[in-house]
Amino acid sequence: MDNPDTIQRADIGQPSRRGLIVALGIGGMATAFAVSARPAAAQEGSTTTSTPAPTTTAVPVPTTTAPPQKPTRADLELLRFAETVERTAARGYLALTDARLAELGFDDPTTEVFRAITGHHRAYAEAISALHGPTNPRSPSDEIAGALGIAALADGDGPTVLEAAQNIEEILVGTHLDLIGTAQSTNTAALLASLQIVEARHAAVLARLRNLPYGASAQAFEDAADSLSTTYFTPEL
Amino acid sequence: MDFSRDELRRELRELDRMHQATEGAQRSLVTAVFEDVPAEHRSAVLLGGVDRRGFFRIGGLAVAATAVFAACREKEPKDPIPVSGQSPDFESAKNKPVTDIVLLRTASSLEWSIIDVYQKLLNNGFIEDPAVIDLLLIFQSHHVSHADAFAKATTEAGGTACTQPNSKITHDLFDPILATIAGAGGNGAEDSNAFAHALETLAGATYQTFTPSLSQPALRRAAMAVGAIEARHASVLAVLLNPAELVGSSSGSPAAPDDTAPTTTAVFVGVPTSTPAVTTTVVESAAEANIIVAIPGAFGSRAPIPLTVGPSAEGVIRKAVNLETPSLNSYLYEDEAC
């Protein structure tokens, strides 16, 4: 509250008592902020010195953008296709029951190989479905079953079944290789790689069971010449 | 419990009467306290003597005192511990970035390291089975193609291609295993086969591991175009070396019980005494000591690959090594020579 005394001092240009207190308070606060901010600045490197910060030990930061980890929308479509392919293959191998394997006259190691392959494709379908996330499970595709030549598993004799199974695995290896080269997310690529590498083993073992020699003509690189994705995978995006 | 409502009402009315009787006296007391205080000073009495001006005064002084204390604090930390002599300058560890070029260079160098091992195995005559020798020659030619492909990819990505074995892997891991195999005696051939199988498995697992680390889908595809071939190599070799057990126990289909006689080696120890009994100790054969299965599991494994090599004898512990896919300590970084 002003009184005649303070008004008189203001008139003659001298700071009032209240103004002095307020000015002192503001000045103190400003000083306190400046002092308290000093340690943080010292940690980051002083900006008051004229010499620049040393850069000899600096690590160059890669400028490439990190790929996504989780499946992208396009990857989800790709996963749905891969799941359909695996469910189709799994359904086809179900024709090779223990009774049928015995009927075909396979020995124990060969029988175990077929049992394992059947379980693997079911596991692949489930793993792909799990990575995709909640959705209706995909159904096997008759069209893809035809492309894989699955009918021979149910109808053929021993050598025919072995040949058909090897053909299925070769097609799956090529298909997944194609999908690995299409998938954007690292999780999708990692899952597909983990199953494609075993499907290549399936194919190699089945070829050996057919007594095919692993000769000098063996390819040094997998190819995707017979990939199903070029014909049956049509992304909607 | 039962309450008498009438009794409750009577109690409440009595309480209300007592309150009415004391309220007037309390009001008179408050009025008497402020009766002699001027109206402009009553707020000061109620607030304990701090008016608006006093509030600013105290606040300003407190802030100013804080500023003074902060400004007077010690600026430079004292030397923590007196040190005699000159302390060495330590260079902090560098975290080198793992780029596509690093992975491609490492892939080339690993291929050359495997080629180098096969050449040593073949040159030293460690492998006896002609079928295995033929396979290794084919595998070796494939590894040369793989190394060339990754060298080309490295150059296209802007890096310096590596056309030599990875010195960290060769010197620290592969060469000691070869030295052990050289002294393995009768196990040399089986150990060599097991080593070749482990190398192919390792190569496949390496590309599977690199796949999610590569930033470009095209490079991932290139990695698995090679990785799947390495897996085929491992399986073909496994079918040849262990045809009775094609599927691993973790493959979801337990192996059928084996009716054949065990292939373990019986070592007879102990000095013959007057009693005819002898002590037999079963020593694991070279083939049994290593897991050689064409289809080891449902999914490709990136776990370390166990390998056991060395001579089998009573009281001798064979050398067990874990082959691990290249990682931070064995990558071939961009600023490193092969």
Question: Residue B254 pLDDT > 50, yes or no?
Answer: no
pLDDT band at B49 (very low <50, low <70, confident <90, very high): low
Type of residue at A232: Y
Pick the range with the lowest mean pLDDT from A40-54, B151-165, B204-218, B239-253.
A40-54
Per CB-CB distance under 8 Å, the chain A contacts of B300 are 193-195, 197-198
Model pTM greater than 0.80?
Answer: no
| Mean pLDDT lowest among A132-136, A208-212, B23-27, B302-306 | B23-27
The reported pLDDT for the residue numbered A30 is 53
Q: Quick check: A62 pLDDT over 70?
A: no
Six-digit token string for B251: 């493959």
pLDDT digits (tens, 9 = 90+) for B166-178: 999 999 999 999 9
How many Cβ atoms are within 10 Å of B238's Cβ, its own excluded?
27
β-bridge pairing B247-250 and B319-323: unpaired
A202 touching chain B per CB within 8 A: yes
CB of A173 within 8 A of CB of B225? no
Average the pLDDT over B54-81 and give the result. 74
Looking at chain A from residue 81 to 100, which residues have their Cβ under 8 Å from any Cβ of chain B? none
Nearest of B116, B126, B133, B118 to residue B181 by alpha carbon: B126
What are phi and psi for residue B135, nearest 5 degrees? -65, -45
> Do residues A206 and A165 touch, judged by C-beta distance below 8 A?
yes
What is the rounded distance in angstroms from the CA atom of residue B238 to the CA atom of residue B201? 10
Encode pLDDT of B91-122 as tens digits: 776 788 999 999 999 999 999 999 999 999 99
Of A62, A112, A120, the CB nearest to B246: A112
pLDDT of residue A130: 96
Q: How far apart are CA B294 and CA B304, in angstroms?
A: 17
Query: Which band of pLDDT confidence, cut at 50, 70 and 90, is reported for residue B256?
Result: very low
Residue A126 tokens read as 């489930």
**pLDDT range class, residue A191, cuts 50, 70, 90:** very high
Per-residue pLDDT tens over the stretch A66-124: 899 999 999 999 999 999 999 999 999 999 999 999 999 999 999 999 999 999 999 99
State the Cα–Cα distance between residues B109 and B88, nearest whole angstrom.
Answer: 35
Question: What residues of A are in contact with residue B246 (Cβ under 8 Å)?
Answer: 109-110, 112-113, 205
Q: For B192-208, what is the mean pLDDT?
A: 97
Q: List strand residue ranges (DSSP E) for chain B, in order.
A: 247-250, 265-269, 279-283, 295-297, 305-309, 319-323
Q: How far apart are the first and last CA of chain A?
A: 73
Residue with tokens 């309450």: B3
Give the distance from residue B330's alpha carbon to the nearest chain A alpha carbon, in angstroms: 19
Contacting residues of A for B94, CB less than 8 Å apart: 57, 59
pLDDT band at residue A24 using 50, 70 and 90 as cut-offs: low
Q: Is the pLDDT of residue B262 over 90?
A: no
Residue B65 to residue A59, Cβ atoms within 8 A: no
Q: Do A197 and B227 touch (CB under 8 A)?
A: yes
Residue B228 predicted with pLDDT over 50: yes
A215-227 pLDDT, tens digit each? 877 899 999 888 9
pLDDT at A54 over 50: no
pLDDT score at B323: 97
pLDDT greater at residue B319 or residue B56: B319
What mean pLDDT is predicted for residues A180-201? Answer: 98
- Of the candidates A178, A183, A200, which has its C-beta nearest B228's C-beta? A200
Q: What pLDDT is recorded for position B81?
A: 73
Mapped onto helix, strand or coil, the DSSP state of residue B269 is strand
Query: How confident is the model at residue A42, as a pLDDT?
Result: 37
pLDDT of residue B8: 86
For an interface test with A, the pick among B63, B144, B150, B152 (most A C-beta atoms closer than 10 Å) comes out as B63
The CA radius of gyration of chain B, in Å to the nearest whole number, is 42
Q: Average the pLDDT over A180-195 and give the result.
A: 98
The candidate with the shortest Cα–Cα distance to A180, out of B234, B210, B97, is: B210
At residue B74, the 3 state secondary structure works out as: coil
Burial classification of residue B271, based on how many CB atoms lie within 10 Å of its CB (0-12 exposed, 13-18 middle, 19 or more buried): exposed
Tens digits of per-residue pLDDT, A126-158?
999 999 998 888 899 999 999 999 999 999 999
CB B147 within 8 A of CB B163: yes
The answer to whether B297 and B250 are in contact (CB under 8 A) is: yes
The interaxial angle of helices A186-209 and B217-241, nearest 10 deg, is 30
Place B266 in a pLDDT band, splitting at 50, 70 and 90: very low
Percent of residues, chain B, with pLDDT higher than 70? 79
Say yes or no to pLDDT of A45 above 70: no
Adjacent-strand bridge partners of B282 = B266
More confident residue, A218 or A43: A218
**10 Å Cβ neighbour count for A17?**
14
- Which pairing describes strands B265-269 and B319-323: parallel, antiparallel, or unpaired? unpaired
- DSSP code for B174: I
Residues of B within 8 A of A202 (CB-CB) are 295
CA dihedral B211, B213, B219, B222 (to 10 degrees): -20
Q: Are strands B247-250 and B305-309 parallel, antiparallel or unpaired?
A: unpaired
The per-residue pLDDT for A226 is 85
CB A200 within 8 A of CB B228: yes
The rounded distance, in Å, linking the Cα atoms of A182 and B191 is 40
Tokens 């079918």, located at residue = B239
Summary mean pLDDT of chain A: 81
**What per-residue string of b and e applies to B52-66 under the rule 16 or more CB within 10 Å gives b?**
eeeebbeebeebbeb
Query: Which carries the bigger pLDDT value, residue B38 or residue B221?
Result: B221
Token code pair at residue B92: 């902090």
Contact state of B142 with A204 under an 8 Å Cβ cutoff: no
Where is pLDDT greater, at A9 or A47? A9
Mean pLDDT is lowest, of B1-15, B49-63, B122-136, for B49-63
Q: Using CA atoms, how far apart are residues A75 and A190, in angstroms rounded to an integer?
A: 12
Residue-level pLDDT at A26: 58
Pick the most confident of A21-25, A141-145, B38-42.
A141-145
Residue B35 clears pLDDT 50, i.e. is over it: yes
- Chain A 134-163, residues with CB within 8 Å of chain B CB atoms: none
* A25 confidence band (pLDDT: 50, 70, 90): low
- Poorest-confidence range of A82-96, B68-82, B179-193, B267-281? B267-281
Mean pLDDT, all residues of chain B: 84
Interface test with B, best of A35, A101, A185, A201 (most B CBs within 10 A): A201
Q: Binning pLDDT at 50, 70 and 90, where does residue B19 land?
A: confident
Helix or strand or coil: residue B37? coil
